[in-house]
């Protein structure tokens, strides 16, 4: 196998990431939940 063929083989295999198919609504809700939790923590600690 040449170096070029090895590079092409690696480029085809995916290791995951933002393009993975999945329930995007769960990811969206988890992100907003994290935002709310951080906002409550900041408020409780009196940092705002």
Which pLDDT score, from 0 to 100, does residue 23 have?
80
Start-to-end Cα distance in the chain: 60
Tokens of 20: 């993975």
Tokens of 43: 């408020």
**What are 1-48's pLDDT values in tens digits?**
566 666 656 655 666 666 666 688 889 999 999 999 999 999 999 987
Which pLDDT score, from 0 to 100, does residue 14 have?
60
Which pLDDT score, from 0 to 100, does residue 30 have?
95
């Amino acid at each position: 196998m040449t170096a070029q063929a090895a590079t092409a083989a690696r480029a085809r295999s995916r290791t995951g990431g933002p393009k993975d198919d999945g329930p995007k609504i769960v990811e969206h809700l988890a992100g907003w939940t994290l935002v709310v939790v951080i906002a409550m923590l900041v408020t409780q600690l009196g940092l705002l």
